[in-house]
Every structure is written in structure tokens, then in C-alpha cells.
Chain A
Amino acid sequence: MVATETVLKTRPVSPLQARLRVATRRVRDVWYQIRRSYVAMAGLLILIFFAAMAILAPFIARYGPLETAPPCNALGQLCPPSGAHPFGTSFGNRDVLSQVIWGSQVSLFVGVLSAIVASVVGTAVGLISGFAGGWIDEVMMRFNDIVLSVPWLVLMIVVAAMLGQIDLTGLILVIGLTGWSITARVIRAQVLTVKERMFVERAKMIGSSNFHLLARHIFPNAFPLIFANTILTVAVSILSESVLAFLGLSSPTHMSWGRIIDESIDGGALINNNPGWLVVPGLGIVFLVFGFYLFGHALDEILNPRLRRR
């Protein structure tokens, strides 16, 4: 009774305001659970560390990503690790530490944007396929099977070759357009269960259009899953970027971590006694991916506790 009175006393809210309030409350709930989860917080801290590195790169890197440092000896050999170059120098006498700091920008940028591309495509395919059912579902899922069955590295290299020149946009498209299959499957499965829920039946009964059903009922209920899935996809995309760079497919004007590793192989980091050139950018990838996995994994558990892995 008390509750009803309080509601009546407040000013009427517009539907938009109401939805905003529900959304804020939901976000606050999730944030509360994230703060209680050690795994999520550990992941988040790692991500904040790398995000800070990427944003502050212009201030904390002593040299530019492609800038040549003054030579250390008369022979023009690479500098060994020292106070000026904690991890030595690489090709063209570039400071490895500065390259790694700048590289965080490229890896994060490519990873996040290609994950968004993959998620948008995967979500669209999953939503339509799961919602429409019938032959549309059949055709889309068969196509999805085909894409999943072609060896993914070959698929990526061929798409990269098709795009011709590789720049950051090209990389993002290659990784995004080859990485949506798993997302589509996950979203489709979620749509299939949401579709059977009572409120969807009810909305259908009162004559809601398909668009309304998708936009107002199915998408909002699949969204938490999409969000958690996107974060996990970022991790996969960062790995894909490094593999492509290792095979020589990287933007010539940007220094990603994958490209630094690739150059360290060609430049003989081990023979030149400079293991930092190989190890440090690799640790960057490992820890950044670790951060995304931890956070995404924890979020996945928070956002759908009843999700059964199949």
C-alpha cells in the first residue's frame, strides 16, 4: 500500500524516462556484481592499465613508434638493454619500450573495432535466423557452417589478399568479417529461447509487428549476452591481428604488437641477444587478451547465470 502511494505521488514519467530508469537500475545491479567478483575486477584492472597506456602513449613513450634513436656504438649495432632503452632497440635502432607503448593503441583499436564489426554482423545474422526460422534460418545456418568449416587462417589470408592493400581499415574488415560465425550461433540460440517466453507470445497476440517484437522484446533480452560476447570477441580479434602480422599482413604505417614480434623474428632478436624485443610485445598481447577474457568471462557469468554451454 505504501509503495502504491509513493508511485502516485511522483510525477508521471514518459515511457522513455521509465526505460532509462530501468536501464540505469540494471546497470547499477550489474556493476555491483562486477565489484563483488574478483575475476571481473582483475580483468577490469588489466584493461584499465592498457587503456591508460594507449591514451597516455604520447606522454610516456620517449620515442615515436617509428622514430630512430641515436646510435649506441660506432658500428651501428642494435642497442642492448640499458637505462635509456630498458628493452634495447629494434630494427632501425627504434626503442622497443616506446614501440610497445604505442603498439597498445593499434592492438586495442583494431581489436575493439573488429570485434564490433563481428558482433554487428553476428548479431544481425543470429537475430534474423533465430527469429525468422524456417528456410531463412536453414539457409543462414548452412552458410554459417560453411564459413566455420573453411580453415579460418586460409579464409583470413584470402580475404586480406582480396582487399589488396592492407591498412588499419582493411585489417578491421578482414578480422571482423571472418569472425562473426560463433557470435551468430550464440545469439541464435538465445533468440530461440527468448522467442518461446510468455511476454513474446503476449506481444504477438496483441498484434505487434515483427520489427517491434525484435526491437523491443528479443533484442533487449539478448543484449547482455551480445555485450559479454563482444568482449570475448575482442580477445579473439587481438589474437587474430597478431597472427596476421606474424604472416606479414600488417599495416605498414602502424606498429602493432604482432608486427613488432614479426620484425623481431626477421631481425634475429635472439641471435642479437635482445630477447626483450620478442618477449615484451608478446607479453603485451598475452596480458591484454587475459584481461579481456577474465572480464568477458565474469560478465558472461553475471549476465546469464543459467546459460548452459553446449
Chain B
Amino acid sequence: MGKLLRIVARRLINALVTIFGIIVLNYVLVRMMPGDPAVVIAPRLPGYEGLIDSNRQLFGLDRGPWEQFVIYLQRTVTLDWGISYRWNQPVAEILMRDLGWTLLLVGTATVFIIIFGMIIGSYAAWKRGKPFDLASTGLGIFFYGMPTFWLGLVLIALFANPSFRPAWWWPLLPSQGYYNVNLGPWAWDWAHVSSALQHLILPSLTLAVGSLAGISLVMRSSLIDVMTEDFVLTARAKGLSEQEVLRRHIFPNGLPPMVQLIALDIAFVIGGAYQVEVIFGYQGIGYRTINAIYDLDYPLLQFIVVVGGTAIVIANLIADFILLKLDPRIRIA
């Protein structure tokens, strides 16, 4: 038991070190971008020259790099994220507004990916070498290598563009924004919710396809690995039904690799979300990030990178702990 505690403590310390590293790297990266935010934000009009200096003072960019770093560290630790240069609002407030929509998009896609990826992968492993397996594996590799933004554009062309749509085709789907803006500000009524759900179909599908393929491929190979083990043969030999072999011997041993993969996949879904949000005008965190980079909006960008990175670290940590619970071998080794 003491050993288990040591492993858990080690993982926790590693995660903390990694988060601290992200905080430091974030500061360095953001400030190594060329350009001066004080200049970028000031209007390029005569009479505004004085604004650049006052901006610099306001943002604290006139201080030395070490002093700025210490202030940045203090603020990060106390969760005081400052005020966006571009939007002149507290960073936390801006992102809280965006976060809901991004979580809806990423969450829908992730649930879809996990459920269907595992079902397709298990069925392919079960029917190894049969047509379903060959088709799903081939298509899986095909879709895995599809650029997310291009897939989004093609889906828009097929489902949201009246000029190419044959008459018998699927009804037109909306492809821009969170919901129909003609409905007015957001309210929890049926019109808004159904509109939001319709607006969710194309972006979440785009986001899900690549990772879905990845998950199903790994699920398949992980299960096939287990199926060739001796204990499965033993289980069959002692007369268990196929169902029971699958439920009691194959799944419990095939699932641990999936846990870690799903945690790693979250980073890729977040990466895909940037592209999807730009293509579909879905103004969540990804959309905000791309703009923050172009605007050199340090506080906003720093916050996004730290929160995104920490989320990935925590997801991996949770995966590690689940693995520790699922796979007794790690506890001994």
C-alpha cells in the first residue's frame, strides 16, 4: 500500500512540475512573438501616437522582463488573469462566455467519438479479417488522415450549400454560428435549443470523424492483442460462452490502453476545435485564440494556453489513476 501511495505522489508531483513548466514556457513563447501589443492595439490614426506609450504603461510592458515575469507568476498563482488588451474586459469573463459553447461542441464530439469509436473498433476486432473489419479499418485510416478544416468545407458544400444540393438530398443544415441569430438573445426555449442543436450537427461531425477513426483503430488492435493471449484460449477451453469470454476476459484487458489514448486524444480534439470554430464561425475558445495571437493579446492568450495545457495534464493524470485502478501490474512494477 505504501508503494501505491508513492506512485500516486510521484504522478502528482510530475503533473505539478509539468503545469509549472507550461506556465513558464507560456510566458516565454508569448513574449517571443514579434510585434508590440501596445502598437497593435492603438489605432493607426494621426493624433493617437501618445496612446502607444500610455498603452505600454497600462499593460505594464515598460517594466523589465524579470519584473513582468514575477508579476505574471503572482497573477497566475492567485488566478487573477488581468484584462484583455483587445476587448478591455476581464479575461476570465470573456472566456467564461466562450467556454460554454466550446464545451458543448467538444463535449458532443468526444462523447460521439468514444461511444462509436469503441463500438466500431470492438466489432471490427470481433470480425477480424471479415469484410466489416477490412472496410472499417481501411475507411478508418482514410478518415484519420483527412484535414479537419477541409472536411468541414466539404460538409458545408454538401449539406449547407443550396447550389449543389440535389432535390432528394438531406435538408439544408445551418453552417454558421451557434444558433439562428434572428431568434434574438439566448433563452432556454424550444426554438433556441433546437436551433442550437441543428447548428451543432456539422461542426461536431467534422470534429469527431478523425478522432473517431483513431479510437476505433486502436480499440481494434488493443482487443486483437488480448484475443491472442493464452488466457483467452484457456477461457474458451474451459467452456465459457463467447459472450462471457468477451465480457470477462477480453474487455477488462483491452480497455486500459484506451483510457490513456482517450486522454491523449483530448489534446487533438482541442487542436481540431480551433479549425472547426474558424470554419463554422462558431465563436468559442478556438476562435478567440486565433484572434488573440493576431492581436498579440498577451493576457487572453496566456490564460488560454495555461488553462488548455492544465486541462490536458489533468486529463492525463486522471487516465493514469484509472489505469492504476484497472491494471494491477502497474502497482507492482
Chain A interface (Cβ within 8 Å of chain B)?
142-143, 145-155, 157-158, 161-162, 164, 235, 239, 242-243, 246-247, 258, 261, 265, 270-271, 273, 275, 278-279, 282, 285-286, 289-290, 292-294, 297, 308-310
Complex interface: chain A residues within 8 A of B309 (CB): 146, 149-151
Residue among A149, A154, A278 making CB contact with B154, cutoff 8 Å? A278
A150-B309, A152-B267, A162-B32 as given contacts; A309 in contact with B144, CB under 8 Å? no
Cβ-defined contact, A270 with B145, below 8 A: no
A279 to B312, CA, bound (A): 34
Cβ-defined contact, B18 with A149, below 8 A: yes
Contact size class for B?
A: 35 or more
A145-B18, A151-B309, A161-B293 as given contacts; A309 in contact with B141, CB under 8 Å? no
Count A/B pairs, Cβ under 8 Å.
140
Judge if B7 is at the interface, Cβ distance under 8 Å. Answer: no
Cβ-defined contact, B145 with A142, below 8 A: no
Chain B interface (Cβ within 8 Å of chain A)?
14, 17-18, 21-22, 25-26, 29-30, 32-35, 141-142, 144-150, 153-154, 156-157, 161, 163-164, 218, 221-222, 225, 257, 260, 267, 270-271, 274-275, 278, 289-290, 293, 301, 304-305, 308-310, 312-313, 316
A142-B21, A246-B275 as given contacts; A154 in contact with B14, CB under 8 Å? no
- What is the interface of chain B mostly: helix, strand, loop, or mixed? helix
CB-based nearest A residue for B145: A289
A157 to B296, CA, bound (A): 12
Q: A143, A154, A270, A286 — which one has the most chain B CB atoms within 10 A of its CB?
A: A154
Complex interface: chain B residues within 8 A of A271 (CB): 163
Cβ-defined contact, B221 with A309, below 8 A: yes
> How many Å from the CB of B210 to the closest CB on chain A?
9
Cβ-defined contact, A308 with B225, below 8 A: yes
Cβ-defined contact, A290 with B141, below 8 A: yes
A239-B145, A289-B145 as given contacts; A146 in contact with B34, CB under 8 Å? no
A146 to B325, CA, bound (A): 25
Complex interface: chain A residues within 8 A of B150 (CB): 242, 246, 261, 278, 282, 285-286
Given contacts A147-B25, A243-B148, 16 further A-B pairs with CB under 8 A are A146-B21, A146-B22, A146-B309, A148-B267, A149-B22, A149-B312, A149-B313, A149-B316, A151-B289, A151-B304, A157-B293, A162-B29, A271-B163, A275-B164, A282-B150, A309-B222
